[in-house]
Amino acid sequence: MKSSEQLFGLRELRQWSGNAPIQLAVLGDPVAHSASPPMHNAALSACGFSQRYGRLHILPEELSEAVPLLGRAGFVGVNLTIPHKVAVLPMVDVLDPSAQLLGAVNTIAIRDQRLFGFNTDGPGLVRAIAADFGVRLGELRVLILGAGGGAGRAIALQCALEGCPRIVLVNRTLEKVEPLAGEVRGVHPSGQPESEVYALGSSDVSLGEHVAVTDLILQCSSLGMHADDPSPLSVDFLQRSHLVYDTIYSNRSRLITAADAIGARTANGLSLLLHQGALAFEIWFGRPAPVEIMGAALLEARSTQAS
């Protein structure tokens, strides 16, 4: 087994001192399912780089010890996934303005032992929506499911930055998205009016009415990572005219299955993974990422896993 295909953890990170078998990684809990390693390793090989990209399984209670060890271990950078994107904020030395605004970090670059935090989720989604649906995100009325999480927050603020005319934030716990709604209302492109912004609990009786005037449904919660997870939105609300994007890519969620069944256009988080990963690559190496090669590697990895 290649070293980049192994699953490492805090124990190994403690032992490495400039001699780690990987120099880039996705760091999360869970992380064994991540398709980032084959995507990034294909890019590294295509560009003639010797670095390898792997997986670091770090528990929430281990994060504060693990992050400072990355520089000593010789890492170039890491990607952060569930549940570390918000918790890592105070652990980086320098926050990029986008990460500061979006309130989450999904990419760390390590330069001279200093940690620089970035967020490529929002910009990556802009590229993914354009690639999958052939439309600019800023033209769409959006409804975000699971807006209370780190990815949901970043995506909500990015939608405001893009000038989406209507943004509906939906979360199981309303109290988690009401403050976010206030922040989103204050973010908009220069010279353009503020977006219409609404915050709803997932059981709000008006949810169906909001879905009816939505162009793009963005599913950002963790529901769908397991095959028996319920849909985060009643499938009765779905219309054929909807664009439905589920950030989960490890399984075909019930939301995507139901939307496909009625003829709605759908896409999953594989394209977001691709484009946010390409942006991370550009941050680490200061050169354009080989997006087509990365996309082909992603598709091959998902096909192999499914077989």
Distance CA 2, CA 8 (A): 12
Six-digit token string for 250: 């490890």
Q: What is the DSSP letter of 264?
A: -
3-class secondary structure, 133: helix
Does residue 85 have an active-site annotation?
yes
The DSSP result for 34-89, as a single string, is: --HHHHHHHHHHHTT----EEEEE--GGGHHHHHHHHHHTT--EEEE-TT-TTTTG
Rg (C-alpha) for the chain, rounded Å, is 19
Pick the catalytic residue: 40, 84, 85, 153?
Answer: 85
Sort strands 107-111 and 77-80 into parallel, antiparallel or unpaired: antiparallel
Active site positions, annotated: 85
